[in-house]
Amino acid sequence: MSPARIFSSDFVASSRVGEHPDRQEVRMTVAVLRDGARDSAVRLREKDSPTEVLTGAGLVPGLAEALAATFES
């Protein structure tokens, strides 16, 4: 599959998800330290309350791995 076709299909998929009537937006924060420690927080945008926050090191593992990779030389 050509890179242009992959980009096009990803763009179409993300457009459809963004327009779905049952979509739920989330806010997330992921922190990674040079020593490997990591933490994250995730909250549904519709429940924008300090008591409705999920926290834990493994909530967004792909993003945490990508951030950790920025420390590698």
Does the pLDDT of residue 8 top 70, yes or no?
no
Q: What is the pLDDT of residues 12-29, one digit of tens each?
A: 777 777 787 888 888 999
pTM of the model: 0.65
Complete DSSP assignment for 3-59: HHHHHHHHHHHHHHHHH-TT---EEEEEEE-TTS-EEEEEEEGGG-STTS-EE-TTS
Q: What is the pLDDT of residues 25-72, one digit of tens each?
A: 889 999 999 999 999 999 988 877 778 899 999 999 999 999 999 998
What are the extents of the domains in the chain? 25-73
